[in-house]
Amino acid sequence: GFRRARRLATQQVSEILRIGARAAEMKRAGLPVIVLGAGEPDFDTPPNVIEAAHRAMLAGETKYTALDGTPALKAALVAKFRRENGLDFAQNEITVAAGAKQVIYNALMATLDPGDEVIIPMPYWTTYSAMVEIAGGTAVTIACGEADGFRLTPEKLEAAITPRTRWLMLNAPSNPTGAAYDAAALRALLAVLERHPQVWLMSDEIYEHIVYDGFRAVSPAALAPGLRDRILIVNGVSKAYAMTGWRIGYGAGPAPLIAAMAVVQSQSTSNPCSIAQAAAVEALNGPQDFLTDRAESFRARRDLVVEALNAIPGLSCRRPEGAFYAFASCAGLLGATTPTGEVLATDRDFCSWILETAQVAMVPGAAFGLSPFFRISYATGTAELAEAMRRIRDACATLS
């Protein structure tokens, strides 16, 4: 019979995808489900980007490209890092892959040996620990609760580092909490890393443009030039330019790491889609002013969601600095009984009860390693968000 490889023994399709599949099934059955599960902007890819893709196809850019990014896209990325992050990279310090997801995968496959440890602040994007394990490493998770603003502290970081630590994976603004670090908080973490030369920093900056209330997301590489030779920046066009389906992500870091990552990509997928790369060049070089308009529209949605959640007895939600997620606590509802006599014992119970009775899909905090919370992705129209909040409120009011 079929036998999975050992490296997949503990891996499964992500819970977020499973909840999405259940929501889609309910929709097909005619139920008015509101999906606040997936981490995907509801905006369209900008028309200039789509036109660039069309032009590229007509111009014959339909063949294999340079392995880890066309010279045109790498040039656009060199300019992006200079313009937006104040960082200078050469083209051989930049890599392009099929999504930020593949950049992270390449980096872990290129660097981890059995027993190597990767520190992951928790709650975290589930993919991080899964990829570390598939690559043969050991995920070392550190609980970063609401009391710390869901942020890693220098003390916790210091305590988690061992001689086997290879990476700290940091994602700010964060999926799932929306928490971000100001320059002072980042400097404190970087000071710890400075004392441990075996530890590299993977900085996932994919939500850098989605920040609120004047918050500025700073790249750690810009704060600690001395650590530049052990920082990998991970980013992509998915979230900023509403290009999730195009699958273009990129990384920037030391040339020897980038070269090792190219080996992984060369023997797996080769270059990312030539047409999507041409589209990404236009996204990065074209008009950028809509980014602030979109961030402003995400801010209005965040306020709507956070205020509505905090008005529901038993729920509470910290106001996030960025990304498009609210990470709310349902601690006050655990142990409550539903009208049909079920007891809500966990955040998973709460989310599946809300999905089945109120037809609102959310992801339990357990999926990100921290309970009892749930994540709402508010990258959805305000009317739908307001309706979802009413449904959650009305459902919670029936609990006893």
Residues at the interface with ligand PLP (CB under 6 A): 39, 99-101, 125, 171, 175, 204, 206, 236, 238, 244, 249
Output 234 or 358, the one with its CB closest to ligand PLP. Answer: 234
Q: How far apart are CA 105 and CA 332, in angstroms?
A: 38
Could you list the beta-strand ranges (E) of the chain: 34-35, 94-97, 117-122, 138-143, 165-171, 200-204, 231-236, 249-252, 316-317, 325-329, 360-361, 363-364, 373-377
User: Nearest to ligand PLP by Cβ — which residue?
Assistant: 99
Residue 181 DSSP symbol: -
DSSP letter for each residue of 272-309: PPHHHHHHHHHHHHS--THHHHHHHHHHHHHHHHHHHH
Output 101 or 294, the one with its CB closest to ligand PLP. Answer: 101
Give the shortest CB-13-to-ligand PLP separation in angstroms.
Answer: 15
Give the shortest CB-130-to-ligand PLP separation in angstroms.
Answer: 13
Output 165 or 177, the one with its CB closest to ligand PLP. Answer: 177
Output 280 or 315, the one with its CB closest to ligand PLP. Answer: 280
Query: What is the distance, to the nearest Å, from the Cα of residue 306 to the centroid of all Cα atoms in its chain?
Result: 20
Give the shortest CB-20-to-ligand PLP separation in angstroms.
Answer: 12
Give the shortest CB-97-to-ligand PLP separation in angstroms.
Answer: 9
First-to-last C-alpha distance (Å) of the chain: 48
**Are 344 and 335 within 8 A, CB to CB?**
yes
Measuring CA to CA, how many Å separate 360 from each of 217, 229, 363? 31, 45, 10
> Which residue type, as a one-letter code, is found at position 134?
I
Give the shortest CB-31-to-ligand PLP separation in angstroms.
Answer: 26
Output 212 or 246, the one with its CB closest to ligand PLP. Answer: 246
Give the shortest CB-275-to-ligand PLP separation in angstroms.
Answer: 16
**Are 203 and 230 within 8 A, CB to CB?**
no
Q: Rounded to 10 degrees, what is the CA torsion of 287, 293, 298, 299?
A: 140
Measuring CA to CA, how many Å separate 256 from each of 39, 212, 261, 276? 32, 36, 9, 26
Give the shortest CB-16-to-ligand PLP separation in angstroms.
Answer: 9
* Residue 301 neighbours by CB under 8 Å, 6+ apart: 324, 378, 379, 380, 382, 385
Output 218 or 312, the one with its CB closest to ligand PLP. Answer: 218
> Which residue type, as a one-letter code, is found at position 338?
T
Give the shortest CB-382-to-ligand PLP separation in angstroms.
Answer: 22
Output 116 or 204, the one with its CB closest to ligand PLP. Answer: 204
Output 39 or 137, the one with its CB closest to ligand PLP. Answer: 39
Q: How far apart are CA 64 and CA 42, in angstroms?
A: 31
Give the shortest CB-204-to-ligand PLP separation in angstroms.
Answer: 5
Q: How far apart are CA 192 and CA 201, in angstroms?
A: 11
Output 174 or 371, the one with its CB closest to ligand PLP. Answer: 174
